[in-house]
Chains A and B, each alone.
Chain A
Amino acid sequence: MPSLDKKQFLSAQVDLSKFNDASFEKATDEEKKQQDVMGESTTFFKDGMRRLRKNPFAMGSIVVLALIILIILVAPHICPYSYSQMISVNGCRDKSSANLAPFQYSEMEQDYIEKTGKSLFPHIFGTDSLGRDYFIRVIYGTRVSLSVGIVAALMVLIIGLIYGSIAGYFGGTLDLIMMRIVDIIYSLPDMLIIILLSVVLQETLTPVLKGTVFSKLGANMISMFIVFGLLYWVGMARLIRGQILSIKNNEYVLAARCIGTKSSRILRKHIIPNCLSVIIITTALQVPSAIFTESYLSFLGLGVADPLTSLGSLANEARGALQSYPYRLVIPAVVICLIVLALNLLGDGLRDAFDSKLN
């Protein structure tokens, strides 16, 4: 192509008249910088929370759980009845108050209302066969079940975290021995042990506990905690060990060793923060499983000691009068379902939001 032709060939493609000298002035550094802005600073936590907020199931679960917790905290202050006492009117035991239907008043109460003109707090869920307000019993049952779940999950977390971190970080023969112990514990049938322990411990613990705060819970409950502490941490320990083994291989741990950082600092600053999300998620999922176990055992009659109750024992008590008062079984069962479902959905939501492997 001759040069003139080439120029024409090029010029034919663009309309040069629309440009002026100013268009081809050099851009300043500031102008260029404006084009190249770094995104807003987000931390890992903020980013995860943003994702969590977008998950309708997780957010719904948080609302449900918050409502349940609010109710069980506030209700005992408003409702004038006690979970352990038969309803009394004017200091007088109300013998006619057994087996009331929801929002029904007993004869004595109706008399009282007519005579004094004062209103009485309604029995929202009616009363049980011993004349105790069923609503407040469900509230206390939920309190017990939730605290059992949370305490058990925390116990599992603490033991599992310490055991798993040591085995995972130091590795070698120590890891081998510690993990074989875990395998042995894994192979024990947990239900059988809970039942055996609660029978044995009931005899020995009852006199010891007398007069302490624990006596309210009863030996069954204590043995359940002991079993959780003895057996259920193994899953958590395994998980944390696995996490630590994979994080340990990251170059930033190697870099920290290269700097001369001590093992304890590496664990604290580099390894634990990076498996924290998995730990929180697993703990959140541990709570419903503990609640479930507690309910199951209470249903078998191995739960908290009367008059204290839990959702499982409420369901157990309702079994006898299932034909006449089916709602007494349905109510605690629904509450269990709600709590367990909400916690599971929340746990899943947390995992989706925070687990880096899924992102």
Chain B
Amino acid sequence: MSNKDEYLLKVEHLKQYFPVQQGFRKVPLKAVDDVSFAIKPGETLGLVGESGCGKTTVGRTLLRLYEPTAGKITFDGDVIFDSGEEYDEKGNVIVGADGKPIRHKKIDENMLPYRRKMQMVFQDPYSSLNPRMTVEDIIGEPLDVHKLYSTKAERREKILELMELVGLNAEHAMRYAHEFSGGQRQRIGIARALAVNPKFIVCDEAVSALDVSIQAQVINMFEDIQKKLGVAYLFIAHDLLVVHHISDRIAVMYLGKVMEIADADELNENPIHPYTLSLLSAVPIPDPETARKSKRIVLEGDVPSPLRMPSGCPFRTRCKYATEQCAKERPQLTDRGNGHMVACWNK
């Protein structure tokens, strides 16, 4: 395949709807609605957005912890999921004469071999480790499942190697997870993800629950591991400063859709989408001088419920540039130069 060299992971028109019971009817909750992006080997893509924008769902759907509603996921040159729809250049599903979408063959690969190549680090260092297991067993579980050792000694050696890689003491191997602090627990979680030697790791708010001083330790470790092993990250977080620091490129999501993707520095210096702009200005800067000078662009109102999604552009209800066109038609991501993609009619 042509994109084998360029991209490690390619996501096209990914949709993830959850049925929600409303009275007697089932209504689809559009957690992720038509999201496309790609990640190169060894690259970090940051994914930011407010709670409920679907960023966590994107990560989990990629790893097939949820069954995708529609879309196509290509990983390492293999199509691991394809629901079969075809799209025109405007991003609409091509419909046949009978009103139903034209489909090609659906592809749904067995995930087990891919679980060795893509892994996940979770948000909550407290609930992501089984309190009844020792550190050795937690890190050893992926080795057990994929049978990555032949002798007990080899298993132990591998576990100790991983513990060293994430900066844990070998003498901690027999301790239980609840005896560790948040930062150390997160290290255990990372060692578990690294055990299968993956090419791609989804970091779902992996540093959000940690104290600032520990956060820096873990961020540095992510960067060191990337340098050493060449893994690619999808770094999901709501803290823009952290995401900016660790990411090569950043995607901004709002209500299940990607609003803007650009290089990390480019996005911070030159944001185009009005949502990105207000998001960036809302971040409290840890510097009193700048804080006194800068004026926040305070967004009015709240994020609409994903069950009552606005027509057209989802951001239009809070956007001061909104026009009639925004209500009528949904803007697609368009390239504004240097791979800076923005989905907005007016900017």
Contacts and interface: CB of A to CB of B under 8 A. Distances in A.
Contact, chains A and B (beta carbon distance below 8 A)? yes
Interface of A: 38-39, 41-44, 250-252, 254-262, 265, 269-270, 273-274, 356
B65 A42 contact: no
B115 A255 contact: no
Contacts of A251: 122-124, 127-128
Nearest to B177: A252
Contacts of B176: 41, 43-44
Contact of B65 (A41, A254, A262): A254
Contact of A274 (B60, B130, B142, B189): B130
Contacts of A256: 130, 141
Interface in B166-210: 174-176, 178-179, 189, 192, 196
A259 B179 contact: no
Chain B, interface SS category? loop
B131 A259 contact: no
A260 B174 CA distance: 24
B127 A252 contact: yes
A251 B209 CA distance: 14
Contact of B111 (A250, A260, A270, A356): A260
Nearest to B60: A254
B145 A260 contact: yes
A151 B132 CA distance: 28
Chain A, interface SS category? helix
5 A-B pairs closest in CB distance = A260-B115, A251-B128, A273-B132, A251-B122, A252-B130
B9 interface: no
Contacts of A261: 141, 145
A258 B133 CA distance: 17
Interface residues of B, number: 31
Given A44-B131, A255-B122, A38 B179 contact: yes
A274 B189 CA distance: 19
A283 B55 CA distance: 43
A262 to B, nearest CB: 8
A259 B192 CA distance: 9
A261 B179 CA distance: 25
Contacts of A260: 111-112, 115-116, 142, 145-146
A42 B179 CA distance: 8
A39 B123 CA distance: 25
B127 A250 contact: yes
Nearest to A41: B175
A265 B217 CA distance: 34
Contact of A254 (B122, B133, B142): B122
Nearest to B180: A38
B127 A259 contact: no
Given A251-B127, A259-B192, A274 B132 contact: yes
A353 to B, nearest CB: 15
29 contacts: A43-B176, A44-B131, A250-B127, A251-B122, A252-B128, A252-B130, A254-B120, A255-B120, A255-B128, A256-B141, A257-B65, A258-B65, A258-B119, A258-B120, A259-B115, A259-B145, A259-B146, A259-B196, A260-B111, A260-B112, A260-B116, A260-B142, A260-B146, A261-B145, A269-B130, A269-B133, A273-B132, A274-B130, A274-B132
